[in-house]
Amino acid sequence: MTDAADTIQNRSLVDKAWYLSDKESYEAFHMNMKSIPKFKGMAICTKYHLKGSCNFGDKCSQKATHTGPFDTAMKPVFGNWVSKCCSKELG
């Protein structure tokens, strides 16, 4: 279980267009986790990069991806994955 004290905020705002609003569903991304791009050898933490915060903080298994901004090679790769999820192209 996590609490508010564990939450880490993404202050780098790689691309505001990726952020989900409170009204948007996370389901499209959750359904496509098997195809998520790797960063630093692991799946990107979508809570941190799409929701703007990760409630697992330092306990997150993908905390190494709690960085930003992505390098110039990674940004378009992750952006493409986000676009495909949103358009339901992946699932």
Would the pLDDT of 43 be above 80? yes
Name, of 2-11, 24-33, 75-84, the range with top average pLDDT. 75-84
Per residue in 49-60, pLDDT (tens digit) is: 888 889 998 999
Residue 91 CB contacts under 8 Å (≥ 6 apart), including other chains: 28, 31, 32, 85
| Cβ-based neighbour number of residue 29 at 10 Å | 23
- Tell me the pLDDT band of 24, cut-offs 50, 70 and 90: low
Rounded average pLDDT over 55-76: 87
Question: Between 2 and 85, where is the model more confident?
Answer: 85
Say if CB 2 and CB 63 are below 8 A apart.
Answer: no
